[in-house]
Structure 1
């Protein structure tokens, strides 16, 4: 489950019909980080985020994940109660200089963002042979 970052960072967002507004909060998405060979993989939960509403940026060594959730209300219905909290997602990581920044791959499927961060060839461990003297 995502952790709420702040409620002070709320913003008024117009509903699709333009009539009502909702308060949006910002959540920090839950992530799993693991390695597969020479690649680090980050998996972030961003339910309700469409592929066009994901923004992954890399500025120097700072990787920022942002996801925006568009408000949804079924056409012709008026909301009577709302317990499900809708908000946007933000998560920031500092990458090591071992990551090949030109080969980062990102994919969003079913509300799960998956990033593959391969290590550059120059920073991969090298075997040094030892000769008998």
Structure 2
């Protein structure tokens, strides 16, 4: 299987100043799978849905963001909190081997699945040899 470059952005030297936010920002845990024709990222982002997750790919940097609002129970005031809510953000550097026009994403029960198809030009091609 080819070793297609998908690199955690955090592993690289910072190229811009860290942004400050009033909310907590979590880095979602991500598993990365590779097949001969695609790469799949599976990110755990509890509480997000299709309306609160955003994915961008700009200059080979894939950025996943999401937001979770705390549940407000009518008539109750929060007395103790162990489950933190806030924003999610994670960035990856992807190679030029990814077909940007065919990237697909789905989210179900707070699990984001992002399929990054490999470009046709990088797939192995069988060359037919003919006798003369």
TM-score above 0.5, yes or no: yes
- Indicate the structure with greater strand content: 1
Shift of 1:86: 1.3
Are positions 1:40 and 2:42 aligned together? no
- Name the residue aligned to 1:94: 93
Q: TM-score, normalised by structure 2?
A: 0.78
8 Å CA contact 1:25–1:87 kept in 2: the answer is yes
Q: Please, what TM-score do these two structures have when normalized by structure 1?
A: 0.77
Give the aligned partner of residue 15 of structure 1.
Answer: none
Return 5+ residue gaps in structure 2 as ranges. 1-9, 11-18
1:126 corresponding residue in structure 2: 125
> How far has the Cα of 1:36 moved from its partner?
3.0
CA distance in 2 between counterparts of 1:50 and 1:42 reads: 16
Query: How far did 1:128 drift?
Result: 4.0
Counterpart Cα distance in 2 of 1:114 and 1:50:
12
In the TM superposition, residue 37 of structure 1 has moved relative to its aligned partner by 3.3
SS in 1 for 2:78: coil
Listed as ranges, the matches of 1:1-133 within 5 Å are 9-11=20-22, 24-128=23-127
SS at match of 1:32: strand
Gaps of 5+ in 1: 12-23
- Structure with higher Rg: it is 1
**Structure showing greater relative contact order (alpha-carbon pairs closer than 8 Å, 6 or more residues apart):** 2
Secondary structure of 1:52's counterpart equals coil
Matched residues in 2 for 1:48 and 1:120: separation?
Answer: 33
C-alpha distance in structure 2 between counterparts of 1:50 and 1:78, whole Å: 25
Q: Give the Cα separation in 1 of the matches to 2:21 and 2:56.
A: 22
Q: Which moved more, 1:75-84 or 1:25-34?
A: 75-84
Q: CA deviation at 1:34?
A: 0.4
